[in-house]
């Protein structure tokens, strides 16, 4: 099996056992202290979470990577359900030095939508994206043009699967969490509390539950606000950076 140089760490956030037949030691599982994740092949890093898993989804784990871990030249972000693949063998990793001579970021799926803004409105509560727009306008005005451009596009990359340069990862986290923590402050959400995110959507449950399950007034998935917004903000950040992007297939590990 061909393996790239040892200049990358690929972090797989997980909260339960999964099996994608990964044996390459450059993949590392990152999970919470009480998560039931077992792996005989990969290193498992157990963290003390600092922000909500419900509210931030996979970014709860990636936040820890940003704040506390020494990083190599390239950082990969994946999660147990979806693994970015670079060949027929899931364990194959390319020469990232060579790839990054041509590209600024390696991503997973690209999807077509009517527009990024309309897609969010169809799937979630558009108030949250409107709040995000206003936060960017007030606190991160250098991203205004990129935000407006992305919201009018009919394509976007999703799932927060990527490999990027270390410095880009650090820069994106500064932007992402700067926006998301301002969102929490604006809406009275405790970013460390799962319950606080549930309470937030419960105040306006009809505008959350109706998106996918109008019959279910206790629909809870919509509390993953930080995860949903982060997918759109990743596109905004990449547009601002004018990165050349290459897409690869994602393997579903459900």
- The residues spanned by each domain of the chain are 8-107, 111-157+166-243
Residue 4 confidence class, pLDDT cut points 50, 70, 90? low
Alpha helices (H) along the chain: 53-56, 59-68, 96-99, 116-123, 126-139, 144-151, 166-187, 194-202, 206-209, 225-241
Question: Virtual CA dihedral for 160, 166, 169, 174, nearest 10 degrees?
Answer: 160
Residue 167 confidence class, pLDDT cut points 50, 70, 90? very high
Residue 179: pLDDT over 60: yes
List, for residues 233-246, the tens digit of each pLDDT value: 999 999 999 999 99
For tokens 């950040």, what's the residue? Answer: 237
The rounded distance, in Å, linking the Cα atoms of 156 and 149 is: 11
The rounded distance, in Å, linking the Cα atoms of 159 and 147 is: 19
Residue 202: pLDDT over 70: yes
Residue 63 confidence class, pLDDT cut points 50, 70, 90? very high
For tokens 């970021």, what's the residue? Answer: 105
For tokens 């003390």, what's the residue? Answer: 48
pTM: 0.93
Residue 38: pLDDT over 90: no
The predicted structure's pLDDT at residue 216: 54
Mean pLDDT of the chain: 90
The rounded distance, in Å, linking the Cα atoms of 193 and 61 is: 15
For tokens 């600092």, what's the residue? Answer: 50
């Amino acid at each position: 099996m061909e393996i790239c140089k040892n200049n990358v760490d690929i972090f797989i956030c997980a909260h339960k056992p999964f099996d994608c037949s990964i044996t390459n030691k450059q993949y590392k599982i990152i999970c919470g202290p009480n998560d039931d994740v077992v792996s005989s092949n990969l290193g498992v890093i157990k963290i003390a979470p600092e922000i909500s898993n419900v509210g931030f989804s996979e970014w709860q784990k990636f936040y820890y990577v940003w704040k506390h871990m020494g990083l190599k030249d390239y950082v990969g972000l994946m999660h147990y359900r979806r693994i970015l693949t670079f060949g027929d063998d899931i364990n194959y990793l390319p020469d990232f030095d060579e790839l990054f001579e041509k590209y600024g970021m390696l991503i997973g799926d690209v999807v077509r939508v009517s527009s990024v803004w309309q897609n969010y409105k169809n799937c979630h509560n558009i108030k949250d994206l409107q709040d995000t727009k206003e936060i960017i306008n007030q606190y991160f005005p250098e991203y205004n043009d990129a935000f407006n451009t992305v919201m009018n596009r009919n394509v976007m990359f999703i799932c927060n699967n990527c490999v990027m340069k270390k410095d880009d990862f650090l820069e994106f986290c500064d932007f992402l969490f700067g926006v998301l923590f301002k969102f929490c402050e604006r809406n009275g959400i405790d970013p460390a509390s799962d319950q606080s995110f549930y309470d937030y959507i419960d105040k306006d449950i009809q505008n959350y539950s109706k998106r996918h399950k109008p019959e279910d007034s206790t629909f809870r998935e919509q509390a993953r606000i930080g995860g949903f917004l982060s997918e759109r903000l990743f596109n905004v950040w990449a547009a601002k950076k004018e990165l050349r992007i290459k897409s690869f297939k994602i393997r579903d590990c459900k």
